[in-house]
Amino acid sequence: MRLIRRSDFETHPWKNGGGVTHEAVRTPAGRADFRWRISVAEIAESGPFSDFAGYRRHLTLLGGPGFDLRFANGDRRELRRVGDRIEFDGALRAECTLLGGPCVDLNLLIAREAVDADVRIVSPGAVHPVACAPGGTLAVFGVAGRIRIECDAAEPQVLNTGDLALLDGPASTRLLDADPGRPSALAFLATIVERDPNGHEGELHGR
């Protein structure tokens, strides 16, 4: 199990100047042609999202009053509550309108032709078993509260809000609420499986 604390994320400015991105991990590391990337973005003002042609975007609201997304194909979606999420084509032009102030969101970018991802938001109020296929990676991000991760192949770890844990499959993993007496924790789960070892060309930074 690899634990990446929020304080260890790498910070990069957006190319359009609308905020900053805190990158937790990309595969392969340090390359523009990454196959998948997990990051946290601070949205300081309304404006367009960056173009990530060739990628699928999984976006989850982490904090703030929320925002409205209008897409070039006419679709529209509002994310208002922590844990609200959306998946869309990174090549689809998206205009973001803040609904009352700055927001923070979690982004998983996967190369459309090279990677598959099963994404969900869970509340591990009791024991929540999860599994990852051989050759895959299980990503667990702390959306709210503290989460205890128990895995057969590693020592138990506690994930704080904003931290990321990565586990290689196959793995038998359980998620528990580390503070059961408090409001239930919330976790972002992604099972990531790479299909194309040759990678995929993409942009280095954005939001």
Rounded to two decimals, the pTM is: 0.90
What confidence score (pLDDT) does residue 192 get?
94
Tell me which amino acid residue 52 is.
F
Q: pLDDT-derived band of residue 207, with 50, 70 and 90 as boundaries?
A: low
One DSSP character per residue, 184-199 reads PPEEEEEEEEE--TT-
| Domains present along the chain, CATH in parentheses | 8-111 (2.60.120.10), 115-194 (2.60.120.10)
Q: Which of 44-53, 105-114, 140-149, 188-197 has the lowest mean pLDDT?
A: 188-197
pLDDT, tens digit (0-9, with 9 covering 90-100), for 46-84: 999 988 999 999 999 999 999 999 999 999 999 999 999
Query: How much of the chain, in percent, has pLDDT values that exceed 90?
Result: 64
Strongest mean pLDDT among 119-123, 166-170, 172-176: 119-123
CA distance 110 to 69: 20
